[in-house]
Chain A
Amino acid sequence: MHYLGLITLYLALGFALLALLAGAGLFRLAPDLARKANSCSVLTTALSTLALVVSFLTDNFELAYVARNSARSLPVVYKISALWAGQSGSLLLWLVIISLFSLAVQGKRSFREKDFDLRVNTVINAVRVLFMILLLFVSSPFESLADPPINGQGLNPMLQSLGMVIHPPLLFLGFSGFLVPFAIMTAALWKREGGDDWLEEVKPWAVLAWLFLTAGTVTGGHWAYTELGWGGYWAWDPVENASLLPWLTGTALLHALHLGREQAGRKLWSYFLTVLTFALTIFGTFLTRSGVLDSVHAFSGGALGSIFLAVLAAILLFSLGLAWVRRDRLLDLETEEHSLLSLTFAIKAGSVLLLLLFAAVFFGTMFPLISRTLTGREIILDAGFFNQVTVPIFLVLFLLMGLAPVLPRKQAGTAALWRKIWLPLFVGLSVGLYTCFTKGGGAAALACAIAAFGLVAHVKSLAGGKERRLRLSSVLVHMGVLVMLIGVAGSSAYTDSVFVSVEPGEEIQFGPYVVSYMGLQARYGIDRYSVGTTLAVSREGRELGELTSEKTFWENRSQPSTEVGILSTVREDLYLNLAGWEGQTAQLHLQRFALVSWIWFGSGIVYLGAALGLLAPKPATKADKQVKAWSRTF
C-alpha cells in the first residue's frame, strides 16, 4: 500500500509541476492540457490520501505512521481521523484541501474567460508543489517499517473525540481558503494592465475561508472546553493564538472588501490584508511545528519549522516586490468625503482596532522569543496579559459593530441618528446596570451592555425595511458574534468552583443546585477499564439531569484519561471532574460557568449568516455593472 501512496504522490508532483510551469508561461501548453494536468495532479493527490486511509482501515502497521497513530481496536471513525493525528498526515490533509480549492478555481466559469484560472492555479500549485516536496522528502507518512508490529500504539485517548474529527479539517479549510484570495490578487497583479474586478472576485472566497476559519477556531475551543486540562475554551496558548491571528486580519479583510469602491487606498489595503492573512496561516504552522515556544500542544520540532519560516520570508518579499512593481494598479487617489458618524468611518476605525488586536496578540505570543533575543532571559506573558490588553480593545470594537446598522454610509444627521439609537441605548444601559448590580463584575457587565445595545440595534434594523443598509447576512453574523460575546463575558466573570470529598448517598449543595452522589461504577472494555460516577442534579426540587465523569485506564498506555461531565443549560453549565477516590469515597471537582452555551449558539448564528452571504449574493447595482463592464474592456 505504501508504494501506491508514494507513486501517486510522485505522479501528483509531476503533474503539478507541469501545470505550474505551463501556467507560469515557461513553456507553451494548450490551456485545456494545462487544466488536465492540474486535474490529474488533484486526482493522484486524492488517491495517495486514499491509500493512507485504506492503510489505516486495514490496520496496515507496515506503515510507521499507521503503527504510531492507530490500533486494531480503534473505532472506524477514529481510524479515519487518525489520518491527521500526526504531522505528516496533517500536511497531507492540508494538501488535499488546497488541491480541492484549485479544482474549484478551475471550475469557476468567470475565471475561465481569458484563462484567468490558469494564472490563479499557478500560484496555488506553487504552494502545492512545496507541500508535496515536504511530504516526499522531509516528513513522509509513507515511511515503512522493516519489522512491523502486530498492533499499533493506538490513538491518544484525548484525540479520540468528535473534536478531533471535525476541528482540524475545518481549520485547514480556513487556512487553505485564504490562499485563494492571495492567489487571485497575485494573478491579477501579475499583468501590467487590467481591471479592478479582482477585488470583487476575491470576496466570496474570503467569506468562505473566514467561515471555515471561524468554525475551526470555535470547534477547537469547544473541544478544549470538554477536554480536561486544556485550560477551557480559550487559554491564549500560542497554538490557539496562531489561529486567532489570521482570523483577526481576515475579518479586517472582509470589511475592507465591503468598503465603498470610492475609498482611496481600498485596493492597497485589501492587498496588504490578504498577504498578511495568508502569511499568518503559514506563520501559524511555523509556530506550531518549530518548537520555538512552549505550548500545551507540544508538537514535535524538526526541520519543518525552519522550512516554513523560509517560505514565509519568501512570500513576504515576493508580495512586497509585486506591490512595488504594480504600485500604479494598487494606488487610487480618488476619494469621497465621509463624516466621522458614518459606516465607512466605522469600518476604517474597526479595521484599525482589529490590527491593534493583531499586534497585541502577536507581540504577546512572540514575547518569549523577543525577550530572549534582547535580554537573554525568556519572559513569558500569561493569559492575564492578553485579557488585560485585548478586552478593552475588543469592547470598543464590539461597540462600533453594534453601531453598524444605525450609521449611514457617508453622512449622518444627528436627529435621524438619535431616532434610531435611543432604544438600543436604553436597553443596553438597563442590561448593563442590572447585571452590574445583581451579579457584579465591571467588565463583564459592560460587555453585556454593549452586546445588548448591538443586538437591539441589529434586530431593529431588520424591521427597517428599505432603510436597511446592512445585508441580512452581515446582520446575522454581527448578531451571532454579540451572542458569543455574552457567553464569553458570562463564563469568564460568573463562575464558581468547589472541591469535595463525598460518601455514597451524600448530597452536596452547590450554588442553587443539589447534587447527589450514589457511588462509583466500573466498566470493562477490550483494552481498558473505567471507573466513573453519575450524579443526579436538581435545582429547587426539580430534577435537571445527570452528570457523568469517569477515569479510564488503558492496557497499552501508562496514564489514565478522564472524561469530564457537563450539564449544559441556557443559564449556565455544570462541570464535573472525578478527581480521585479511596474506596467508595470520591473526590469531586464541581464548577459552574454562566452562559457558556451562548458561545456555541452564537457561533451557529455566525455560520448561518456567513453561509447566507455566500449563497445569496447581493444583486449587482447599476453602478457595479457599469464598473464591471468598464473594467472588462481593458
Chain B
Amino acid sequence: MTKKVKIVVFSLLPALFLGWLAFQAFENSAAYYYTISETSALEETDQKLRLKGQLVEGSVDYNSSIPRLEFSLADQDAQVEAVYQGVLPDNFHHAQEVIVEGKFNTQGQFLVSKLMLQCPSKYEGEE
C-alpha cells in the first residue's frame, strides 16, 4: 500500500463505521423538542418528544403505592396532561420548570419516560 492509500483507508473506514453506528442509533433515541402550544397542532405521532413547561398548580396527583404520578404542564397558551410511572422526585412541587420526554398515547395523555427538573436551588441561587 502506498502512503496515501493507507491514510485514506485509515481515516475513511473509521468515519464510515461511526456514521453507520450513529445512523442506527439515531432512530430509537432522538427526541424532538416541542413547546406545549405546538403539541396541540401536532398530528398523531409515534415520535418521542421532549416538552418543557411549568407545573399547573393543583394538577399534581401522586399515588405512592403503585407508584404513579399525574400532573399537567403548561406554557402561555396550552397545557398537557402527563403521566409518569415512577417515584415522585423530592423537589417536584418546587421545580421551576419540568422537562419531560416521552410519547402521546391515543387518549392524548403524555406518557413520560424521563422526567427532569430544573430547580432554582440545584446548583446556584437565583441570579
Contacts and interface: CB of A to CB of B under 8 A. Distances in A.
Contacts of A501: 65
Nearest to A391: B21
Interface stretch (A72-80, A122-130, A380-388, A407-415): A380-388
Contacts, number: 134
A389 B121 contact: no
Q: What secondary structure prevails in chain A residues at the interface with B? A: mixed
B88 A579 contact: yes
A530 interface: no
A336 interface: no
Nearest to B118: A298
B88 to A, nearest CB: 7
B64 A580 contact: yes
What is the predominant secondary structure among interface residues of chain B facing chain A?
A: mixed
Interface in A578-595: 579-582, 587, 589
Interface residues on B, range: 35 or more
Contacts of B117: 296
Interface stretch (B24-32, B53-61, B71-79, B104-112): B24-32
Given A389-B21, A389-B25, A368 B94 contact: no
Interface residues on A, range: 35 or more
B14 A356 contact: yes
Contact of A85 (B11, B25, B87, B124): B124
Interface in A143-172: 153, 156, 158-159
A300 B127 contact: yes
Given A298-B118, A380-B31, A560-B90, A86 B64 contact: no
A363 interface: yes
Given A381-B26, A582-B64, A156 B14 contact: no
B26 to A, nearest CB: 7
Interface centre among A377, A501, A580 (most CB of B within 10 A): A580
Interface string B11-39: 10011011001101110111111000000
B103 interface: no
Question: Interface centre among A363, A364, A379, A589, by most B CB within 10 Å?
Answer: A379
A43 B101 CA distance: 50
Contacts of B52: 294
Given A298-B122, A300-B127, A587-B87, 4 more contacts: A381-B29, A382-B101, A559-B93, A560-B90
A359 interface: yes
Nearest to A349: B10
B29 A388 contact: yes
A384 B89 contact: no
A235 to B, nearest CB: 10
B33 A368 contact: yes
Nearest to A139: B127
A433 B30 CA distance: 34
Interface in A380-425: 380-385, 388-389, 392-393
